[in-house]
Amino acid sequence: MTQTIAFVLFPDFQLLDVAGPVAAFEIAGRYVGRPAQIRLLSADGGEVASSAGVKMASAPYAEAGAFDTLLVSGGDGTRQAMSCEATLAFVRAGARRARRTASVCSGAFVLAAAGLLEGRAATTHWSRTADFQRRFPGVDLQPDRIFTRDDPVWTSAGITAGIDLALAMIAEDHGEPIARATAQQLVVYHRRPGGQSQFSALVELAGERSRFSGLLGWARERLGEALTVERLADHAGMSPRNFARAFAAETGVTPAKAIERLRLEAARDGVESTTAPIEQVARSAGFGDPERMRRAFLRAFGQPPQALRRAARAA
């Protein structure tokens, strides 16, 4: 039986949210000898411009026909799409007839606005988690996941995570060997290790114009040193108490948590991209004790450093 996958587009959708999964489903179809039928849909049909200006041809919702999987793209346009009654009505109706419904990146906002995520586990792009939680408190948001599955609804994190989502669906439909071969053809992880926190460094979260962005950059260069609140406050020209309060208000985390995040980012890079002993990586990143680093890795990534190193070498 030919598998049909319908994608929901809207003005200013993120191009890779669609192109990435489409490529994965296409390649998997070649391996199994049954090409997937891809349908691109939008409220009015015709060409839909992505946020990059590149356009994709689509059919109107009324011509959707039958489909096995409904996948909602993300992007800047979700802010308008989540209040488009035609889109929300189609997503609700489509979810009732599809075997599974999914979103990529901020497409989760559309699913949530349609009422499909209430009481379910879900994820979205790390930069929009705070906004999502404010808007949809009834959703069990899991911000560090690459993708979540709460049958029959799947959601994925930012942009390229749509490929991870598609590979998981391919594994379910056609088996792990096909998913693995597809990942190899795409030159991506078959099972990406860790969560999306690895891609949201604190310097970026603080923003270039933040008064603490320079401080975080300074700290990143000195991770092997003691970076106490007192030392950070002194560098920022503030009292420790005022610094800790202002830093948490602006970044959403304590200074200690921020430093740990920077250390985790540096340590993960050392674990995955070098052959340095784990003990040396722990010292250079400022963890000192390898056991302390191992516990931090388990909290942040769900795996110890050795497991991430093995996964990186096998990829």
Instruction: Provide the annotated active-site residues.
Output: 105
With beta carbons less than 8 A apart as the criterion, state whether 75 and 159 touch: no
The SS3 call for residue 82 is coil
With beta carbons less than 8 A apart as the criterion, state whether 184 and 28 touch: no
Q: How far is CA 196 from CA 6, 186, 229, 306, in A?
A: 26, 20, 27, 19
The rounded distance, in Å, linking the Cα atoms of 36 and 256 is: 49
DSSP label at residue 130 = H
Dihedral pair phi/psi, residue 120, rounded to 5°: -105, 160
Which ranges in 123-254 belong to alpha helices (H)? 129-135, 161-174, 176-186, 202-206, 213-220, 229-236, 240-251
- Secondary structure (H, E, C), 39-55: EEEECCCEEEEECCCCE
140 forms bridges with which residues in the sheet? 121
- What is the distance between the terminal CA atoms of the chain, rounded to a whole angstrom? 32
The rounded distance, in Å, linking the Cα atoms of 174 and 187 is: 19
* Cα within 13 Å of Cα(84), Cβ side: 20
